[in-house]
Amino acid sequence: MKIALAQLNYHVGNFESNTAKIISHIHQAEKQGADLIVFAELCVCGYPSRDFLEFNEYIALCEEAAQKIAAECKQIACIIGLPTVNNNPEGKDLNNSAYFIEQGEVKAIVNKALLPNYDIFDEYRYFEPSTVFNCIDFKGHRIALTICEDLWNTIENPLYITRPMDMLISEKPDVMINIAASPFAYNHDEERINILKDNARRYQLPLFYVNHVGAQTELIFDGGSLVFDYSGALVDELPYFQESVAYYQLDSYSELKPLQTPTIPQKKEGDIAQIHQALILGIRDYFYKSGFKMATLGLSGGIDSAVVCALAAEALGPENVMAVLLPSRFSSDHSIKDAEDLVKNLGCKSELIPISDITDAFENTLQPQFKNLPFNIAEENIQSRSRAVVLMALCNKFGYILLNTSNKSEAAVGYGTLYGDMCGGISVIGDVYKTQVFELARYLNREREIIPINTIVKPPSAELRPNQKDTDSLPEYDILDPILTQYIEHRCSPAEIIKMGYDDHTVRRVLRLVNLAEHKRYQTPPILRVSPKAFGMGRRMPIVGKYLS
């Protein structure tokens, strides 16, 4: 049996595009002599569809698309993923399903049994878990077909009390196929490989795994589809962050070979290289799938906006990026020069719009209310919000989308101005800690100087008052970021973090800042997710909770 794996980029709710793409690849695989082509979980509608799944028409359009796809499968079989109606009156109204299509008809339906309901996943909100498990016979092979999480219960401290493969193995399959929608995090690829390798070893069967690629608002799917032989040896690993189709000959459980040169990387990319690729894909798909073309951002001369500008220029083309320099009376000459040098290095568009007159107008207007009180955070935030007003005016006039440039360290402790530098259409580095931003800047400069060296080496500053530095308000980032990581990613308590050797006062102050800033994060743009625990849909905290505040 010749099997094709199709690792493709889908668009949530774009049935016409998704269906056309699936059918096109069916025809290509048919020409290559494939017997079966496998697509990813919920490929027909895209993942995650979220509350679109509550619309009956949406589910009907999924079925209509599936029937169009089936009509094209006369000489080849295919596996597609889609939501389907649960005809049992008990339980949720939908199933997360896979259709096995052969000779123009849906010959088998497999429903997902293990529905993730943690972090960014909320599948049990929509779907009923399957309790029925059957293999599929095709071309002399018996296929154990599962959907994503159904193979993820082999780890220590499993989340579920059953393993679908434990039931399917009793039917004596000779191959496993798993269709998935597994989002990117910089530590996730190795975990994914280990989980799937364990399945191949445990059940002594070859395993074909197909993942999505592409970004859907916050979520980025990295591809990296996998093939293992019956011993758990890795046969092939499809490219990351790009569409790919690969072919394999399966004659028996012990006779599996790729029909092209395997793309297993000789050396795994480091975290920063992966984050770079993910952010490029995240920006590009956010603009393309939303129908936008032009991006703008405030370029301060600091490292955060420089990194975001460089990423945007790479993702969208420098001609589609408008960098706006918005100096105030506190902006240093070197910051303006650093910003101008970056624009020159990138070749993007730029504007210089001083904001002193705007902030003076605000302060003069408020003088009767401020009553000559000393300069403080109110005047600092007027500067930040003045910049946001200018940037949003340009967006409204010219159709730009504003890129938010706040990093994860700032977002965590609330070191930013609500409705000021925290505004934007998409947050590019809101899941990248400040120490990682420095690493990302150096990575961007790996072949030539894109980000001026002075931007990287100078002390970070918001430049909202004379001689201001980030460390006036925060611990050094090489102290702050590990504390934040332990609390946010690893859910450690203050006592546990202090036990690691961190200063008691610093830990308690930092964690209190994180919790007090929750109301700010509720009002900020969606954040491109690159870590195992990002702010946004994967981290849900009460605003008025007292714990650790």
Average pLDDT over residues 239-243: 97
Residue 348: active-site member: no
- pLDDT tens digits for range 162-176: 899 999 999 999 999
Q: 160 near 153, Cβ under 8 Å? A: yes
Residue 360 in tokens:
């003076």
Percent of the chain residues past pLDDT 70, beyond the cut: 97
pLDDT band at 372 (very low <50, low <70, confident <90, very high): confident
Q: Cα separation of 347 and 330, whole Å?
A: 27
Q: Would the pLDDT of 159 be above 90?
A: no
- Which residue in the list 43, 45, 148, 492 is annotated as catalytic? 148
Edge-to-edge strand list for the sheet holding 94-102: 105-111, 94-102, 77-85, 36-38, 2-7, 244-252, 255-258
Condensed to tens digits (0 to 9), the pLDDT of residues 290-299 reads 999 999 999 9
Q: What is the mean pLDDT of the chain?
A: 94
Distance of alpha carbon 317 from alpha carbon 349, whole angstroms:
11
Least confident of 139-143, 232-236, 463-467, 483-487: 463-467
For helices 333-346 and 303-316, the axis angle rounded to 10 degrees is 10
Q: Which of 64, 83, 63, 79 is nearest to 123 (CA)?
A: 83
Task: Tell me which of 112, 197, 289, 520 is the catalytic residue.
Answer: 112
| Position with higher pLDDT, 263 vs 437 | 437
One-letter amino acid for residue 189 of the chain: D
Q: What is the pTM of this model?
A: 0.95
Res. 334 pLDDT band, cuts 50 70 90: confident
Tell me how far apart the alpha carbons of residues 236 and 196 are, in angstroms, rounded to a whole number.
13
Report the distance separating Cα 101 and Cα 84, nearest Å: 15
Closest CA to 135 of 203, 197, 83: 203
Whole-angstrom distance, CA of residue 14 vs CA of residue 451: 37
pLDDT confidence of residue 252: 76
The helix/strand/coil state of 37 is strand
Residue 255: pLDDT band by 50, 70, 90 thresholds?
Answer: confident
pLDDT at 160: 82
Q: Residue 337: what pLDDT?
A: 92
Percentage with pLDDT > 90 across the chain:
86
Tokens at residue 201, please?
């070893």
Question: In the predicted model, what is the mean pLDDT of residues 49-61?
Answer: 97
Provide the b/e sequence for 407-429 (b: ≥16 CB within 10 Å): bbbbbbbbbbbbebbbbbbbbbb
pLDDT over threshold 70, residue 326: yes
Give the domain ranges of the chain.
2-262, 272-470
Distance CA 20, CA 234 (A): 32
The one catalytic residue in 41, 123, 218, 314 is: 41
Q: Which CATH number fits domain 2-262: 2.130.10.10, 3.60.110.10, 3.30.450.40, 3.40.50.1370?
A: 3.60.110.10
**What is the pLDDT at residue 6?**
98
User: Which residues on neighbouring strands pair with residue 175, listed in sequence order?
Assistant: 143
d(CA 78, CA 39): 8
Given strand 175-179, what is the order of strands in its sheet? 136-138, 141-147, 175-179, 207-210, 226-228, 234-237
Reading the block at residue 275, the tokens are 């984050």
Q: How far apart are CA 76 and CA 32, in angstroms?
A: 11
pLDDT at 12: 98
Question: Is residue 298 within 8 Å of residue 342, measured between CB atoms?
Answer: no
**Cis before 258? omega within 30:** no
Q: How far apart are CA 498 and CA 492, in angstroms?
A: 10
Q: Which of 124-133, 149-158, 159-168 has the lowest mean pLDDT?
A: 149-158
Q: Where are the alpha helices (DSSP H) in 423-468?
A: 434-444, 453-457
Strands 136-138 and 105-111: unpaired
Give the pLDDT confidence score for residue 70 in this predicted structure.
Answer: 98
**Contact present, 286 and 220 (Cβ < 8 Å):** no
The angle that helices 303-316 and 271-290 make with each other, rounded to 10 degrees, is: 60
pLDDT at 474: 86
| Side chain identity, residue 372 | N
Does domain 272-470 bear CATH number 3.30.750.24?
no
Tell which residue, 177, 451, 520, has the closest CA to residue 312. Answer: 451
- pLDDT reported for residue 332: 65
Is 520 labeled as catalytic in the residue annotation?
A: no
pLDDT for 134 equals 97
pLDDT-derived band of residue 155, with 50, 70 and 90 as boundaries?
low
CA-CA distance, 78 to 76, in Å (whole number)? 7
Q: Both tokens of residue 516? A: 């007090």
pLDDT band at 94 (very low <50, low <70, confident <90, very high): very high
Q: In the predicted model, is pLDDT for residue 465 greater than 90?
A: no
Report the distance separating Cα 59 and Cα 252, nearest Å: 37
Annotated active-site residue 309? The verdict is no
